[in-house]
Structure 1
Amino acid sequence: MQREKILDVAEEVRLATFKANEQNIIYNQYSDAFIVTSNTFQDLKGSRDYTVEHFKYGDESQKYKYRMTIAGLTFITLSPFLIYEGDSEKLREAI
């Protein structure tokens, strides 16, 4: 009985991972956030508020970290450049 439950859950996780990969979404369990491409982030954003900060662990290809929450789910993207007009004023230092 327990074995069947474990196998069922493992298969669900596997399928969900494949679906997420198709949409270029990675779940980061440590930060409890979904990492997406900058294009996906822009598609999701719409008129929603977001934060942008210097990404302290990044290099030239990951200088800025964008974050927003939709329906209790956090989405993050890393970018080598500021994505939106006015981001330089919105920019804050990573803590």
Structure 2
Amino acid sequence: MRPKARTLLDASVLIALFDANHVHHDRCSAWLAAFTGDLATCAITELAILRWALRVQPVGGRGVAMAFLKSLAQRSTFLKEGPQPATIGWDGIIGHNQ
């Protein structure tokens, strides 16, 4: 039997959901509200939120990011064995702005 598919939220989507001023915040929020499948995060994507929060809000950003991740955890699965960079197909990655 094939395992049930999950949607791994990448760092860009998580940042857009987290930052109300992000250009894609409304679009990502609407997508998340309508999404009924299984969601997942991993250490890489969750640490991206913490890094983003500390960059834009050095004082207090950690607490805000942790509250966001805790609320997200109520409807997502944390993948303890997340993607390993050495096993990812990097052919489509062409620059640091992706």
Q: Taking CA–CA contacts closer than 8 Å with sequence separation of 6 or more, which of the two structures ends up with the larger relative contact order?
A: 2
Query: Which structure: greater strand fraction?
Result: 1
Check whether TM > 0.5.
Answer: no
Query: Which structure: greater helix fraction?
Result: 2
TM normalised by structure 1 equals: 0.29
Indicate the structure (1 or 2) with the bigger Cα radius of gyration: 1
